[in-house]
Amino acid sequence: MEIKRNQRKPLAGMTLRELRNVTASLDMPKFAATQLAQWIYGKRVTTFDEMLNISKANREKLEANYVVGLKPPTEAHKSEDGTVKYLFDVGDGRAIESVYIPDEDRATLCISSQKGCRMNCYFCMTGRQGFHGNLTANEIINQVLSVPNSESLTNVVFMGMGEPLDNLEEVLKVIEILTESWGLAWSPKRITVSTVGKKPELKTLVEKTSVHIAVSVHDAVHEERMQIMPLEKIYQIKDVLEMLSKYDFAHQRRLSVEYIMWQWFNDDIAHAEALREILPDEHVRVNLIRYHMIPDTPKLRTSSDERMAYFRDYLNSKGVTCTIRRSRGEDIQAACGMLAGKVKK
């Protein structure tokens, strides 16, 4: 019996194992699963009719039970610096955002993993809107496959809306799709996953994948970090970084620390020294980030350029590789901490 169209499951977002289950259930040849993966992930087709090496009878079976599941963004906003923010409808009147960041020979896509976020970080627009559900692997990989210039992407960073490790199962599926030969066949070194420090899930991610890791620290002083990042009450950042020190980041795999700087809150030498003391070893890189104002955060102001440079130079003088990240897309609310996803009426 034919399934109603709005109840058909998307194939995009499925692993090869899951696609094999689909083809087996429809009495299709075993090799058809690989063909589906090639059409969806390799060629980014949006309809079954485009899958020319699959028989018409089997395409009709697929059409009756599934959809390809790739949907273009509903809106795009371009910054003066070339950054583009894309809006994706994820149903139930909600939307998520992705940010395309071109930079000379690189093209990075910052993708979302949740509708909102339950980490409730004080300085983050996404956290302010609350949590409205995890994105499926389909909704996550769709951002990568459906943005314009998708095939020219060089990097993907899980730094958009949501805490990726709060949706680890789906994120791991997407990483598999991105890196396996039947998927996009990317090197794991083209992928960075950011986290505020969900320790058990982070351990799983580090051991199951070879992607780069970025830890959002923002304040190394326990009592202060608790005020702005509630997860600190459960997983202290010094313990998270101590755990990471047991893994090898000395070669191609990269570990970085993200540190937003606020004037007179976390930008003095005492805070630089507190940060240095909890860093795992010399192989970690610190990225200093300007704070981008969001509504209802009267306590926070961004640090001056001079103060950020002083903080950077101090850490470098102590043997810590530290740089100031250039802000991108602030004029279209696409910079760090500003993604919210327009809630559609």
Residues taking part in catalysis: 97, 336
Beta bridge partners of 97: 87
Q: What's at 167, amino acid-wise?
A: N
Residue 145 is which amino acid? L
For 265, the 3-state DSSP assignment is coil
Helix, coil or strand: residue 227: helix
Give the phi and the psi of residue 9 in degrees, each rounded to 5. -80, 145
Closest by alpha carbon to 142, among 103, 91, 187? 91
Q: Tell me, what amino acid is at 282?
A: E
Residue 106 burial (CB < 10 Å; 0-12/13-18/19+)? exposed
Cα of 340 vs its chain's centroid, Å: 14
In angstroms, the CA 43 to CA 332 distance is: 31
Q: How far apart are CA 97 and CA 112, in angstroms?
A: 7
Residue 118 and residue 125: Cα distance in Å, rounded? 12
Residues near 281 by beta carbon (within 8 Å), at least 6 away in sequence: 245, 249
The C-alpha atoms of residue 333 and residue 85 are separated, in whole angstroms, by 8
DSSP letters along 85-138, please? EEEEE-STT-EEEEEEEEETTEEEEE---EEE-SS--TT-HHHHT-EEEEPPHH
- Give the C-alpha distances (Å, rounded to integers) separating 145 from 52, 69, 90: 20, 11, 15
**Is residue 154 classed as helix, strand or coil in its secondary structure?**
coil
